[in-house]
A and B are shown apart, each in its own frame.
Chain A
Amino acid sequence: MGFGRYVGARVLWAAVVSLIIVTVTFLLISASPNPAVQRAATQAALQGGDPATAAERARELRGLNEPLHVRYFDFVRSIYTLDWGWSVSRSQPVMEAVTQALYYTAQYSIPWTILTVILGPLVGVYSAANMYSWKDHAATGFAFFGYAIPNFFFGIVLLLIFGVWLEWIPITYNTDVAVFSVENAIQLAVPVFVLVTGSIGAVMRVSRNESAEFQNADFMKTAKAKGVSPLRAYAYHVMRPTLVPLSTTLVGQLLALFLGASLLVEVVFAIPGLGRLTYEALLAQDMSLVLGTTLFFTFVAVIGNLLEDLVFTVLDPRISFDDR
């Protein structure tokens, strides 16, 4: 199988996976009571009307009386045409809510991801190269500190020091400033720092242990014997094989971090991003928005896995297309 066909097959598979997810979601929603219909019935009861008639009318208005397959095709069409409904807890279309939140999340998560992906393996390989020296212990200590300290607590402490005492950074997040501006960099510096310290630990430890395997491998000895500079040797001969197993877990890890860690940091720094959006949608039982954010993360996971599969083949030429 050639690279082109392999990519084509993976993309097709990703599309099938997403359709399965959308179908299961539709079935679950169809089986659960519609909150809008319940609200209409309650309202009618409170005003002395007939709840059953009101519920029937609400069902009719929302097209819930249509046959299942018609509703299914409508649902699939709306999902793939990005018409994800109306968020009742925010009074705006779900798609708008998700893109607005993504806009703020991206501003800190892109630098965060880049820094984690670059710094994690670098520190890991550096640690491995200086194994059991004070440099290794310092790097390991730093990684464990970041991993161990709860992000929200670390965030509050930094906010107290740099925001309240030193007044270097603003306390309330300003959504008005331009994305590429000094003000934005200043207000995002601490959240990004907190998140990077939180996520770098795991990446650094995995890459330290992985690269420890490779630094005494035969190809490293050969490289050294040929007089390759240590920097080049580590970058080409240690880092590259280290990244293969690392990349298998990176997408999952980062997704978990996006939802979990970013929620707490968004709450502390008042950033109106995706973590808060999802959490608040769940609390408010805002069905459309819960669905929207869940599908968003699902699609990110599907695409992330697709990219991961593709990246494998680039990083490690030994991986054959035919076996997959």
Chain B
Amino acid sequence: MSLKFFICPLVLLVVLWRNIEDRDDSRHVGRRQWLSALGLAGAVTLAGCSGNDDGGGGGSDNSGSGEIELPDFPRFGVDDLYGPDAARTLARRAFEQSEYDYSFDGDAMVTPESDQVEIDIYHSAGQETSQLTADFIAQELGQNLGINVTVEAIDGTRFNNEYWTGEPQGGTDTVNGEEVTWENPTPQNPGPRSVTSNEAWDMSIVFGLNTYPLNPLTNEAFFDGANPFYNPVGYYPQFDAQGLFEEARQATSVEELRESFVEIFENLAYEQPYITLLFSDDIIGYNPELEGPIENFSNGWDFPAWYEGEPNVSGSYDTVTSARFTTLNPLFNTEDGAGDAIARALDQGYTFDENQDYFPLLYNMSTEDGEVWTFDVRESLQFSEPYGQVTAEDFVYLVRELHQADWAPTAASSSWDGVTVEQTGEFQFEATLESSNILWPKTYDPLLYPIPRDLVEPYVEEEDVEGLQQDEELLELQFTGNLGAYELTAWNRGSGTEYVRNDEYYLRDIDEGPDLFSEGPLFEEASISVVGEQASRLGALETGEADSAAIPPEQYESYDQDDSVTVRQVPTPYNTIISVNQRANGWNAGPGNLFQLVPFRQALAAAISKQDLIDGVYRGLASPHFTWQPRWSEFYPETDE
């Protein structure tokens, strides 16, 4: 629902990592879950996961000597591009490119010193799915490429600090024959490949990343040349990534954009900067009486039209969450969960419907050229007294005096850098970007909360950050007038939030959207309870105390067969990838770094069966991942299928 919080690139690492932790943590805690404890859910074993049914051992040195022709959009890890033949053929291409004498000796891949290649893979400690995935990868690389992989568990924070990030040093290197300078090194891309983290490492599945399917331009943070904002693995694109991203930035139509992106994503599928494995789904259990949830990335966009049983106003919509909220102050919140809690009582500017199309909430956005954007604010919006009507002035003041102010570290401050905002009417304002971006709304950058100017003005004059952060009206959402589906009645810091229906909700009078918006919201009350223990959250879902709760994948089947719960699989843009360390402290098996060679990364991708991984470890609740977009993205390269 509050997608804003995983899209903002500046909070990229923190939020993605948290999301991954949350997801994996839920699986980990699920290990202790009482249903598992009582043997109602089976344990996953790796038996039969391999799918390498043709003799299993990866064949002899003679296998894989055939030729492989890779299409423009190769899909490694399935069909012809999976198995020992494909993997070994690709690996041999890498050996030819390498200045060192790697080879196959029987089943085993060997170093120039004739030792079997041995490398490490790190996974998140204590997280079952992560460990099973690492074990599966080790098994596949052993069987199909003859590599001896050691599986190691590591704490996420430690991996981030010691392995994933490095001291920003900058420097220069020759990439594709041209000299490249690291002018703005970051911990996540501290410099050329010679600049490394403290600790050496080979492969990792500790972190996954976002693929930004709505606004793929954000992926320039990962792939815009060798020196983008975020490149911990030291990947140097061998295609003209910067040129193609520049083309995408200059595009004035979606068709032009698609053209650039398809080329980028075909190249990424080919070069495998990270070995793409899969996109796992969020599994959410709902009260079976509930009408509204959809198996779509935009699930929840039409929440005011959701109802239980009959489409009339009744009952209470109660959910449970694992983490309590740090703040409900809309200016400073950066948490997904708290974003949902705020969203119950306060709408943001717009959302995206089930077709991922822009849907105006507080304001409509339009543009001619992608550079100057006009915001038309609805005239029916009211703050609580004494703040009166919401006007363009409130938004312009918010952006100029808070989001663009040096002294106020608001959550949206990075979104408004370099944007010129001007009021052009009582209910209209314009934003001029530094360069054209026809996907600007999809970056979520122009997403604003309505905040009364009169409320924040005293703090702005004093430049009082702490006062602003601690303001009770902001923290308790007391100014929200008719701007949200519900009114917040209580926020108990330890146990959650409670709401009552907002009878004045402005959405009831708009022309767009489902008919039921005119009645919305369709519950008398709502609540979000903080329940730390997963077993308790699931118990609440089963007994009907909660209308919705996340379900760990290992319990999907038992809940899917349970009449008291309806299970939905909601696709996500977060991927599971193998990060291969192409920096100087990667590849600790021998001389040279084979991870730097495209054919070797292709060989790794071809050695791992995506479908077997999905079926064996993820119980079918994931989709294969071939390039840096999920299949449902409009920028996914066309295929014959």
Which chain A residues have a beta carbon within 8 Å of chain B's beta carbons? 39-40, 43-44, 46-47, 49, 61, 86, 88-92, 97, 100-101, 104, 152-153, 156-157, 159-160, 163-164, 167, 170-173, 175-176, 267-270, 272-273, 276-277, 280, 284
Evaluate contact between B326 and A91: CB separation under 8 angstroms: yes
Residue of A nearest to B493 (CB): A90
Say whether, besides A171-B543, A270-B532, A160 and B34 are in contact (CB < 8 Å).
yes
State the Cβ distance, A276 to closest chain B Cβ, in Å.
6
Question: Is the CB–CB distance between A92 and B494 below 8 Å?
Answer: no
When distances are taken between beta carbons in the complex, the residues of chain A under 8 Å from B565 are: none
Chain B nearest CB, measured from A266 CB (Å): 8
CB distance from B232 to the nearest CB of A (A): 18
Chain B hits for A280, CB < 8 A:
324
Q: What chain A residues lie within 8 Å of B324 (beta carbons)?
A: 90, 280
B135 within 8 A of A: no
Q: List 9 A-B contacts (CB under 8 A).
A: A90-B324, A90-B326, A156-B535, A164-B542, A171-B539, A172-B536, A268-B533, A270-B536, A276-B532
With both chains docked as a complex, state the minimum distance between the C-beta of A302 and any C-beta of chain B, in angstroms: 26
Residues in A with CB closer than 8 Å to B532 are 267, 270, 276
Expressed in whole angstroms, the minimum distance between the Cβ of A286 and any Cβ of chain B is 9
Contact of B495 among A39, A86, A173, A267 (CB under 8 A): A173
Contact residue among A49, A61, A160, A175 (Cβ-Cβ distance under 8 Å from B539): A160
**Bound CA–CA A284/B532 (angstroms):** 15
List chain A residues, Cβ under 8 A from B546.
172
Instruction: Let me know if B406 is at the binding interface, CB within 8 A.
Output: yes
Q: In the bound complex, do residue A100 and residue B539 qualify as a contact, i.e. CB atoms below 8 Å apart? A: no
Known: A91-B327, A91-B475, A284-B326. Contact between A269 and B492, CB under 8 A? no
* Residue B466 at the chain A interface, CB threshold 8 Å: yes
Q: Within the complex, which residue of B32, B328, B531 is in contact with A91, where a contact is CB–CB below 8 Å?
A: B328
B12 CB–A CB distance under 8 Å: no
CB distance from B497 to the nearest CB of A (A): 11
Specify the chain A residue showing the minimal Cβ separation from B498: A176
Q: What residues on B are CB-neighbors of A86 within 8 Å?
A: 466, 470
Report which of A47, A268, A276 forms a contact with B494, defined as CB distance below 8 A.
Answer: A276
Q: Is B169 an interface residue (CB 8 A)?
A: no
Picked from A46, A91, A176, A268, the residue with its CB within 8 Å of the CB of B536 is A268
Q: Which residues of B contact A39 (CB under 8 A)?
A: 409
A92 touches B493 (CB 8 A): yes
Asked whether B205 is an interface residue with its Cβ less than 8 Å from the other chain, the reply is no
Question: Which A residues are CB-close (under 8 A) to B540?
Answer: 171-172
Which residues of the partner chain A approach B406 to less than 8 Å between Cβ atoms? 44, 47, 49
Q: Which residues of B contact A (CB under 8 A)?
A: 10, 32, 34, 37-38, 320, 324, 326-329, 406, 409, 413-414, 417, 466, 469-470, 475, 492-495, 498, 529-533, 535-536, 539-540, 542-543, 545-546
B414 contact set on A, CB distance < 8 A: 46-47
Chain A residues with Cβ under 8 A from B530's Cβ? 270, 272
Residues of A within 8 A of B545 (CB): 170-172
- Assess the A157–B533 pair: CB atoms within 8 A: no
Cβ B492 vs Cβ A272 within 8 A? yes
Contact A157 B34 (CB under 8 A): yes
Q: Is the CB of B469 within 8 A of A91?
A: yes
Q: How far is the CB of B165 from chain A (nearest CB, A)?
A: 14
Q: Which of B326, B469, B529, B543 contacts A270 (CB 8 A)?
A: B529
Q: Can you name the residue of chain B whose Cβ is closest to the Cβ of A157?
A: B34
User: Which B residues lie within 8 Å of A100 (CB)?
Assistant: 492-494
Q: Is the CB of A171 within 8 A of B536?
A: yes
Report the Cα distance A160→B414, complex, angstroms. Answer: 47
Bound-state CA distance A277–B494 (Å) is: 8
B535 to A159, Cβ gap below 8 A? Answer: yes
Closest to B328 in A: A91
Residues of chain A with a CB closer than 8 A to B329's CB: 91
Contacts of A49 in B (CB 8 A): 406
Report Cα–Cα, A86/B466, bound state, in Å.
10
C-alpha gap A173/B540 in the complex (Å): 10
For A172, what are the chain B residues with a Cβ–Cβ distance below 8 Å? Answer: 320, 529, 531, 536, 540, 545-546
Chain A min CB distance to B86 (Å): 44
B153, chain A: closest CB distance, angstroms: 20
Q: A101-B494, A160-B535, A160-B539 are in contact. List 5 more A-B contacts (CB 8 A).
A: A40-B409, A91-B326, A270-B536, A272-B492, A280-B324
Q: How far is the CA of A88 from the CA of B494 in the complex (A)?
A: 14
Distance in Å from the Cβ of B405 to the closest Cβ of chain A?
9
Minimum C-beta distance from B51 to chain A (A): 36
Asked if A156 meets B529 with Cβ closer than 8 Å, knowing A86-B466, A100-B493, A163-B543, the reply is no
Q: How far is the CA of A285 from the CA of B38 in the complex (A)?
A: 36
Q: B531's closest neighbor in chain A, by CB?
A: A270
Q: Which 4 A-B pairs have the closest CB atoms?
A: A272-B494, A171-B540, A43-B409, A91-B327
